[in-house]
Amino acid sequence: MDNFMWLDAPIHVNYFKFDMSDEIKNMLMISYDGTIVAVNKDLIAKTFDSSESRMIRLGMESPPRNFKVKSEEDFIKYMSYQQYSD
């Protein structure tokens, strides 16, 4: 549990329109109704620490326009833009 980062605004899995692999699903904490409430730090570590992601989380940059989550790579990038609490 201590390797998870808790989302400030949980997101339902139905928001994403691609088939998530079991490897990705195992790195998420999903509630009984299908809402992603936490993410394993190891899943988003590389993109979370990027300057782009940091600036977006601080509100100093906007996320890319028309950003669509179509793959696992897009999902990881999208999750790195979210606000978390430890």
pLDDT at 55: 93
What pairs with residue 7 in β-bridges? 84
| Number of structural domains the chain divides into | 1
The mean pLDDT of 3-14, rounded to a whole number, is 94
Instruction: Give the tokens for residue 59.
Output: 């509100």
Residue 2 has pLDDT above 90, yes or no: no
Going by pLDDT thresholds of 50, 70 and 90, the confidence category of residue 1 is low
pTM: 0.87
Per residue in 39-85, pLDDT (tens digit) is 999 999 999 989 999 999 999 998 888 888 999 999 999 999 999 98
Structural domain that includes position 67: 4-85
